Structure 1
Amino acid sequence: MVPSAGFDELKAWASRLPSLQLSERAVCDLELLATGAFSPLDRFMGREDHQRVLDEMRLASGHVFPIPITLPVDPGPAIRVGQAVALRNAKNELLAVLTIEEIYSWDRDEVAQKVFGTLDLRHPLVAEMHRWGSLNISGCLQVLQLPAHYDFQDLRLTPAQTRDRLDEFDNQNVVAFQTRNPLHRAHEELTKRAAQDVNGVLLLHPVVGMTKPGDVDHYTRVRTYKVLARRYYDPGRILLALLPLAMRLAGPREALWHALIRRNYGANYLIVGRDHASPGVDSSGKPFYGPYDAQKL
């Protein structure tokens, strides 16, 4: 994030720069890069990071990171090394300035096969990638503001804020639970037992960014989580916070990614569910991933 001392000057400069309108997915990624949720990653991936993530699930530094976080664009006069571009959302609001340091092409089929294990267009992300630009860009990010959210603001905690809130529980163990669905009775039981087994606190951490097409909207889901947390859990054992993540539905790789993200939010355990982060079945009616592939990874 840009410090307040240089904010006005950078904003004025950014108003004269070429602009890139970010997709909803890229806006989610930018927010989590800016807040440290993707730490140690602090920018959209360059070529070396991208290739090693595809091949080894690691950044060039050697840190484990299983999902490529990229900013795909179409070729254009502003897409050149050394050019600074203003990053804006769909409402044309200025979010950040990116100074381009790398431009590289990428292979859709390679990404689809290595990250998602399929080329089947029934997979939402495989289909979506066909609409992405043919080039990825990377470089230093100067974030002027986070995307504005007007709902559930008291629950939209950054990683630092979440860690501070968890410190108030004075408990060294934190079990995170990832969900994109309303909780049912079995979820309640398994989350309570998981926290009890490690004598820890439950971080109930639902995704409120991009989930699977057809999922229950987050406005409805969050209201149910609030009631459950207030009426059915020990208030000394639970923290409800929201995660503005754009899911990739990458099954086993995504489960590991979820664990790394929750570590940055202060958790040292993650509950990995059956068929974790799955998009469902492929064009032939078979599941994209086995029910316990995530646990095996």
Structure 2
Amino acid sequence: MIKSSLIEPDGGTLVDLIVPESQRYSKMTEIESMAKVNLTRIDMEWVHVISEGWASPLRGFMRESEYLQSLHFNCLRMEDGSVVNMSLPIVLAIDDETKGRIGSSLHVALVGPLGDCVAILRSIEIYKHNKEERIARTWGTTAPGLPYVDEVITPSGDWLIGGDLEVLKPIKYSDGLDNYRLSPKQLRKEFESRKADAVFAFQLRNPVHNGHALLMNDTRKRLLEMGYKNPILLLHPLGGFTKADDVPLDVRMEQHSKVLEDGVLDPETTIVAIFPSPMHYAGPTEVQWHAKARINAGANFYIVGRDPAGMAHPTEKRDLYDPDHGKKVLTMAPGLHKLNILPFKVAAYDNRENKMAFFDPSRAKDFLFISGTKMRAYAKNGENPPNGFMCPSGWKVLVEYYQSSQAQEASQ
């Protein structure tokens, strides 16, 4: 039973769609006669997300009524009239051939990229996949070059299939990182065992530099000043699909572990876990999903910074979204009222103090802003950033990754 010290999951109960082991054999027998739907790698990431309750109270891929609510209102209305946030459609696309094969079936089996049956989708509903409308409403643009659109939506079928999911066994990746993939249920148990009276989540898809650490440590200090006795940090890197120029997950996880080893973040009050969701880069629309999912994991505080979930415009030299809109939207979004949003102060490298510090506009000329692009350029060239930008062992992980990538490119 979830104790009241942690925030309640959306809908009041955490969804868990993994079939109990005792029922697995009978489900496998049933599957043999079912029509099959093939899943892509990214579809599998969504099966993982739904099965563990990150999208609670959602119990499967969206049917049309849920899809329309998500697409047009960024939320779902519950039977009792209450509203939960659901800013991204979580849908499964199929093509004409698959639709024809399904015919009038009520239930279908979902087949993973390796050819194994991973789930049953029950009481299905098939409806039209209007890609242009979906893209325009999710990203606010249909400009070419949006990574998730190019990778997932454009090549997908013209139909969406929704229904209730039954997942045969927990989704594993066997990449050496499964021990970091803690479900919302496991995270809640961990917070309880550490006697957390507040949980503050930090979502990121980049390596942790000392500016991030300053922010997280400062947040803990602020929570202690507010009267909390044991605030726990959930350092929660995104583990699903990311764009090609982002640092790969295994490298980021190794870098994060060095940050903890070096004591930049306190291992006693920090939990590092992987958030299995794919990344859309849909700015203020997507940041609501990132915040909502952390409610289900037990976080009651969410740190948000500049341009969360944003990216550069794919065809013009500017940000795709206003960098302040993400944090503004989170404070007003339907269904997120129970989550405390913590807008973070801007950190930059203080040349006078030789360390990362909160930006002081009264002496702006003393500060150096080191962007992700600049950080990557340092690492690729084997240069060191200013002393105090990142812990040395964490920086070494990045340099080794970029240099081995360049060596591979050169040899091709």
Which TM-score band (shorter chain)? over 0.9
Q: Secondary structure at the match of 1:245?
A: coil
The answer to whether residue 313 in structure 2 is matched with residue 281 in structure 1 is yes
Deviation track 1:109-146 (CA, whole Å, cap 9, x = no partner) reads 11111111000112112333211111001112111023
8 Å CA contact 1:174–1:195 kept in 2: the answer is no
Q: Secondary structure at the match of 1:59?
A: strand
**Which residue number in structure 2 is paired with residue 193 of structure 1?**
218
The answer to whether residue 240 in structure 2 is matched with residue 223 in structure 1 is no
Structure 1: 4+ residue segments shifted above 6 A: none
Deviation track 1:141-167 (CA, whole Å, cap 9, x = no partner) reads 111023222212322211100111111
8 Å CA contact 1:207–1:242 kept in 2: the answer is yes
Which letter does structure 1 place at the counterpart of 2:35? P
Which letter does structure 2 place at the counterpart of 1:170? K
Q: Secondary structure at the match of 1:139?
A: strand
Q: Secondary structure at the match of 2:247?
A: coil
**Which residue number in structure 2 is paired with residue 177 of structure 1?**
202
C-alpha displacement of 1:100: 4.5
**Which residue number in structure 1 is paired with residue 271 of structure 2?**
239
2:119 maps to which of 70, 75, 96? 96
Which letter does structure 2 place at the counterpart of 1:255? V
The answer to whether residue 294 in structure 2 is matched with residue 262 in structure 1 is yes
Distance (Å, rounded) in 1 between the aligned partners of 2:269 and 2:23: 41
Which letter does structure 1 place at the counterpart of 2:279? M
For structure 1, which segment, 188-197 or 75-84, has the greater mean C-alpha deviation from structure 2 after superposition?
75-84
C-alpha displacement of 1:81: 4.4
- Give the TM-score, by structure 1 length: 0.95
For structure 1, which segment, 26-35 or 86-95, has the greater mean C-alpha deviation from structure 2 after superposition?
86-95
Distance (Å, rounded) in 1 between the aligned partners of 2:42 and 2:63: 18
Q: Secondary structure at the match of 1:167?
A: helix
Aligned residues: 297
Deviation track 1:73-114 (CA, whole Å, cap 9, x = no partner) reads 012323334342221211112210113521100211111111
Distance (Å, rounded) in 2 between the aligned partners of 1:215 and 1:115: 21
**Which residue number in structure 2 is paired with residue 105 of structure 1?**
128
Distance (Å, rounded) in 2 between the aligned partners of 1:75 and 1:99: 20
Which letter does structure 2 place at the counterpart of 1:92? G
8 Å CA contact 1:280–1:288 kept in 2: the answer is yes
Which letter does structure 2 place at the counterpart of 1:35? E
8 Å CA contact 2:60–2:121 kept in 1: the answer is no
Distance (Å, rounded) in 2 between the aligned partners of 1:188 and 1:11: 47
**Which residue number in structure 2 is paired with residue 147 of structure 1?**
171
Distance (Å, rounded) in 1 between the aligned partners of 2:213 and 2:31: 48
**Which residue number in structure 1 is paired with residue 340 of structure 2?**
none
Q: For the aligned residues, what is the CA RMSD? A: 1.5
1:249 maps to which of 281, 288, 303? 281
Distance (Å, rounded) in 2 between the aligned partners of 1:248 and 1:229: 28
The answer to whether residue 242 in structure 2 is matched with residue 207 in structure 1 is no
Which letter does structure 2 place at the counterpart of 1:58? C
Distance (Å, rounded) in 2 between the aligned partners of 1:280 and 1:58: 27
Which letter does structure 2 place at the counterpart of 1:32? V
CA distance 1:80–1:270, change in 2 (3 Å) = farther
8 Å CA contact 1:81–1:100 kept in 2: the answer is no
Q: Superposition pairs for residues 30-41 of structure 1, below 5 Å?
A: 30-41=47-58
**Which residue number in structure 2 is paired with residue 66 of structure 1?**
87
Deviation track 1:172-195 (CA, whole Å, cap 9, x = no partner) reads 111101011111110111111112
For structure 1, which segment, 88-97 or 77-86, has the greater mean C-alpha deviation from structure 2 after superposition?
77-86
Query: Aligned residues: percent identity?
Result: 30
The answer to whether residue 70 in structure 2 is matched with residue 53 in structure 1 is yes
1:136 maps to which of 143, 160, 175? 160
Which letter does structure 2 place at the counterpart of 1:212? K
Which letter does structure 2 place at the counterpart of 1:104? Y
Distance (Å, rounded) in 2 between the aligned partners of 1:285 and 1:81: 49
8 Å CA contact 2:109–2:117 kept in 1: the answer is yes
Structure of greater Rg = 2
Distance (Å, rounded) in 2 between the aligned partners of 1:81 and 1:116: 34
**Which residue number in structure 2 is paired with residue 5 of structure 1?**
22
Q: Secondary structure at the match of 1:198?
A: helix
8 Å CA contact 1:20–1:88 kept in 2: the answer is yes
C-alpha displacement of 1:12: 2.1
Q: Secondary structure at the match of 1:296?
A: helix
C-alpha displacement of 1:69: 0.3
- Give the TM-score, by structure 2 length: 0.69
